[in-house]
Structure 1
């Protein structure tokens, strides 16, 4: 897995992606990526992660296509899965779960006797505007089932360490997941329960191999999360805030007095900008947790034509660039980085190294079987409620 992560990291660093700008310039120059055949063609209902799709993005798409975007947001993968499971795949035309979580969708569909997602018709995608390495990597992470693609890669990002630079100084060369657990930060730390136990396991393991094995072997998973839970219980006094949404995380640092903690990169980068560099973000040396979120069409989608039009906009240099600027995350679209300013490029170097050195050590979220998600949730609940 380390080798795969390293090879794809080289393929889509911001620095390298800028080299493809010329090839993407035509797509960036015009909103004509939205087919005229669907102009003024109704609406599309989207269920997205919070802070992913801005008002400007929706207005730009509607102006070009005539299609109105009705946006609802969620905060966890379980939230969107449970909602679609309850509705038997109806209610939305596009959902944006993490690619690695899709195995749970396949399992739930088989268990319920009702498929939750419909296969992607790749002939209707403008796939050439998506970074090819990301497009292929998504298949390894869970975008396919029985030879069919069910998820289109939308973005990727990491979960590393956010910190108050007035209180501590962390750099990509030396920062460790262990830094947030030091005694001097008791009562001043923020962490996401689900990924917190994972980062503890990665920290204890050091190489990530045992954590990788846990996804395939239930006995190993119990061993890994038992050790992580023991550490988490012993160090729970450090935790000020258990966060689950971007708003929770931002409030932890701006209102609740947290000085260090586990953070999504996009949320941390937005805090970095809003606090004039006081709150910063870095990738730990053991490897930042790395995810890829996708665009999927539920089985009960009504506005399927409109869904494909929006997918093609969101994965274009124009739509992807708007997303990157708005969210702070990395778009899957070729050339999206052109929308980022020089300050954003400099932040990227401070997080991952001048030449993206830290990216070679990323730890990718793996496809999750239903038993694994359930097992981990049990340990999370024990940690949160203790």
Structure 2
């Protein structure tokens, strides 16, 4: 059966939160599983971000399919690419890279003469389980290569402003990227250098158009990054610590005394819960940085059938809902939001505005050609060592 379809408007969490409580039973009910899946068995080797797959998810998937997930975790996109590249596409059946980094996978394949990823057989993917506009948007953001799809949307999330609510009284509508760099925050800020420079570029023109242009050619990129770096270096005294993964980000706020900074939404939600609401998170009015992560199959995957079963379960309302509850990120699965409890819905309203106003102002990470990544890496080093 073909899963191609015309584009439809995205049903965002903003539009479904009102009915989430009423629909919670959707996820509570047993998943509808085909006889073929019930007869399945074996294992699948998944290499995912550290927060993505919980023990409960592993147990439920095995109960539904008979397949055991062997989970390995990583903390950066470079880490997963490097490991799969070193193994020449072997060792794992499913990986979860950010869609905008897939161009690096394709470039590495051409440089090494070894395909790192295999095309997705869309006839084996239950594409109707994925939010339609995200399914389509993923192609524009880098999930396709020469007319073939290589990534299935898994989740999306934002990087915005986290803060200690006992030290700062902030709410949506009053926060922009510049809020982080107010004088009162000197020596109290944490950012990820890579996304810090991007947020500064968005902040400087207030629209993100300048950062969009930076991805088009190297000369323009240098002009844009020069402006961002000048601001970054001027405000280096504001930085208490940099972070590059969820563990370091959590430590910045819970151990190192940071009061405000940039954060991934999932990590921020986990801190929010752990601190009983002391650490909060809110999208800036000039655009939260927004990413989309995908599920991809390495070329040397040994358990292809099982990998497709995992893809289809993670994009079901049950699998996507369990991920959203566990990780705090937004699943790309239709109906996953029904798993969110009332507290999660209230957090969402605080983070993105009472009516989800921030959704219309998201700044999506763009596909990054190799020359851009190398150039930005130079600017990151100059920022860190300034």
TM-score (norm 1): 0.93
Q: Deviations over 1:187-218 (max 9, x none)?
A: 21111111111001111121111110111111
Output aligned runs, 1:203-218, within 5 Å: 203-218=203-218
Query: Which residue number in structure 1 is paired with residue 162 of structure 2?
Result: 162
Q: Deviations over 1:219-257 (max 9, x none)?
A: 111111111112111111111121111111111111111
Output aligned runs, 1:1-386, within 5 Å: 11-17=10-16, 29-33=29-33, 36-37=36-37, 39=39, 41-386=41-386
Task: Decide which moves more: 203-212 or 144-153.
Answer: 203-212
> Cα 1:127–1:23, aligned 2, differ >3 Å: closer, same or farther?
farther
Q: Is the 8 A contact 1:39 1:64 kept in 2?
A: no
1:114 is paired with a residue whose SS is coil
Deviation at 1:180, TM superposition (A): 1.2
Deviation at 1:23, TM superposition (A): 10
Deviation at 1:30, TM superposition (A): 2.7
> Cα 1:33–1:135, aligned 2, differ >3 Å: closer, same or farther?
farther
Q: Is the 8 A contact 1:95 1:298 kept in 2?
A: yes
Distance, in Å, in 2 between the alignment partners of 1:271 and 1:27 is 25
1:33 is paired with a residue whose SS is coil
Distance, in Å, in 1 between the alignment partners of 2:147 and 2:340 is 36
Task: Decide which moves more: 33-42 or 362-371.
Answer: 33-42
Distance, in Å, in 2 between the alignment partners of 1:199 and 1:81 is 24
Greater helix content: 1
Distance, in Å, in 2 between the alignment partners of 1:153 and 1:262 is 24
Deviation at 1:26, TM superposition (A): 7.1
Q: Is the 8 A contact 2:24 2:339 kept in 1?
A: no
Query: Unmatched 5+ residue regions in structure 2?
Result: 1-6
Deviation at 1:128, TM superposition (A): 1.1
Q: Is the 8 A contact 2:210 2:224 kept in 1?
A: yes
Distance, in Å, in 1 between the alignment partners of 2:277 and 2:135 is 33
Distance, in Å, in 2 between the alignment partners of 1:37 and 1:339 is 23
State how many pairs are aligned: 379
Distance, in Å, in 2 between the alignment partners of 1:23 and 1:148 is 35
Distance, in Å, in 2 between the alignment partners of 1:99 and 1:195 is 16
Q: Deviations over 1:40-85 (max 9, x none)?
A: 5211111111111111001110122111111111111111111111
Q: Is the 8 A contact 1:118 1:299 kept in 2?
A: yes
1:11 is paired with a residue whose SS is coil
